[in-house]
Structure 1
Amino acid sequence: MGPGVVITAGLVATAAALYASYDGLWHLAELAGWSKSTRKGLPLTLDVAAVAAGVLVARQLGAELRALAWRGVLALVGASIAGNAVYHVYVVTGGNWPAEWMAVLSILVSAVPALAAGYLIHLFARMSAEVQLADAPSEPEPDRSPVPVPQLDNEHQDDAPEAEAETNVYPMPGQREAVAVYQPGTIGEKGIEMLIQLRRARQPFPTPAELALSLGCSDRYARGIFETYRKSA
């Protein structure tokens, strides 16, 4: 059996199921007091909305959106089955239902269009947002190449004043950063080691921005490294 035959059979079966459901839901709307011109709105609301949600389930969308569509399919198909069942039970029992039951039936049936419309609007809004997010151009990656630290000639290293390294430490002016305890192998520990080596070599320190680019961290994190070094020096 070729795929064309399977597709054709599936379409015929779907059309037959929608037609059968249409008849039962149309008469259910009649029982609920809907006018003749609006009764076809009930089967179209339930069955067509279920088809729309089912199409979204089959699309390559995010797992959360597909789960939302799948829950809608289950709810809409369940409501369609329940509506057809209620109408046929009404027919086979002779239709002598109490007025209170008919009032409840009218309330429940009349709430279906608003609930289905709200669900579909929410579903399509979520889908539109996800598609726009997927089509949005990605931001370029920041340049994290290390910034070269100025080096002094070996013959001038002994002439570099000790105080120069102190004046090139950059603590936060006017406020105090929380001093972190850096674990071995972390960016903070590498930054502290870099500053210690520069001081031993009597070389000028980089600015916080240069240190941040060299380590691949934020400026705030680099300022914290300077603050930790200053307090431990």
Structure 2
Amino acid sequence: MIKLLTKTAFFTLLLSVTTLISKAQIGYDFAQYDAGVGTTFNQLYGDAETVNTKAGFFINFTHNQTPFVNYVAELQTGTLQGGEKTSLSGRYFKNKYTALVLRGQLQAGEIVDYENSGLMNVLKNLYISAGLGYILNSIKAPDDINRLSNTDPQFITGGLDKSNELYIPARIGYEIKFFNQYNQPSFKIDLAYNFNMDLSDNMDGFTAGKSKDKMVQYSIGLKFALGDIISYRKSIQ
């Protein structure tokens, strides 16, 4: 009888401790991967005189080393457009591009104490990101580009209709996390400003001047958690 009571007490204690530990970990767990989709609004600052805003779309895959340290692979497609055929330079282009971007991302939550500060808890999802991009430019001549000047008919702006280039993506953004019943981030809205510096000068199909092309993107994305669940060193929420 005493042995039975001892065993019952032991298993009750073990179950209580296990339950306590499990409850203590609620809010610490996160998915190791995210799959995402979204849209961008693109502006190209190049050799044309006017800047237009055109849409782009992307899908991405994220490896979460921690909830606040992320590595992203992203595939983009969209349009870059600018200039007017009636402008002084006559420069006009429409580039239907495809791009691959690899970047690392650091959120403030990795380096600030947000557990004891309401302000830091809001700012913990603010992030910076940088990496390397590879873009395939596709301009269909003659409809999607004009190289002839309206002031000097003999002047033609050179460049490539088809080109492949590397560029440097820099990004600042904010990730809004939504939590499931276990306080794990299961769904995210990603808002960002992207500044992309071309290492060549053919995103607009023109090679002119000393400055390289610069692509600005305003993006909104949705991310969905998937994969193994692992634990962080402190509560995420």
Q: Shorter-normalised TM-score: what interval?
A: under 0.3
TM-score computed with the length of structure 2 as normaliser: 0.19
- Give the structure with the higher percent helix: 1
TM-score computed with the length of structure 1 as normaliser: 0.19
Higher RCO structure (Cα 8 Å, ≥6 apart): 2
